[in-house]
Amino acid sequence: MAGAQRAGQVAELLRLVGLNPEHGNATRTSSPAGSDSASGVARALALEPKLLISTEPVSALDVSVQAGVVNLLEDLQDRLGLAYLFIAHDLSVVRHISDRVTVMYLGRVAETGARDDVYDRDAPLHAGVAVRRPGARSGTGATAGADSSSWATSRAR
């Protein structure tokens, strides 16, 4: 791939994730909040995947920036037909982005099911694995204890 073609592809990927192409050479200290997450997604999209695997993609971000990254992921899912395996401790984010959840406790799968079925059960959620498939719609919040972790997957829409 020629240098000009590569630069054009990088600029398009940055625009796709909501970043100004000028940020392509920005240092971490001069980058806008959440741009590290967005630029990581852009790098992954360069390979034109059908599935993105994300480990704690929003854990180090404040709530407003988290919302922006989750909205970006949902938008990209709609536009590109992506599926996600989303691994996180924040079960409210997992509930929002998933359509299937697998609850884990002490490293073992405790239950698996549709998001609402798992979240509406009386049993506590210790850790979740969620699946998001294309065309699935988001849910709403939940909380988790300190030992919780979760995975979310979503299919392309």
pLDDT in tens, 12-69: 888 888 888 876 665 554 555 557 777 888 888 988 999 988 888 888 888 888 888 8
Are both 70 and 93 inside the same structural domain?
yes
> Half-sphere exposure (CA, 13 Å, Cβ side) for 67?
4
> Has residue 30 been placed in a domain?
yes
Are both 16 and 56 inside the same structural domain?
no
Return the structure tokens found at 134: 């294309």
Are both 101 and 132 inside the same structural domain?
yes
Q: What is the CATH number of the domain that holds 134?
A: 3.40.50.300
> Half-sphere exposure (CA, 13 Å, Cβ side) for 58?
25
> What would the pLDDT profile of 90-113 be if each residue is shown by its tens digit?
888 888 888 888 777 778 888 888
Whether the model clears a pTM of 0.75, i.e. scores above it, the answer is: no
Under a CB-based contact definition with an 8 Å cutoff, are residues 24 and 42 in contact? no
Are both 120 and 62 inside the same structural domain?
yes
Full residue range of the structural domain in which residue 58 is found: 49-154
Give how many domains the chain has, as a whole number. 2
Report the amino acid identity of residue 2: A
Are both 61 and 18 inside the same structural domain?
no
Give mean pLDDT, residues 129-144. Answer: 45
The angle subtended at Cα 12 by Cα 88 and Cα 151, nearest 5°, is 10
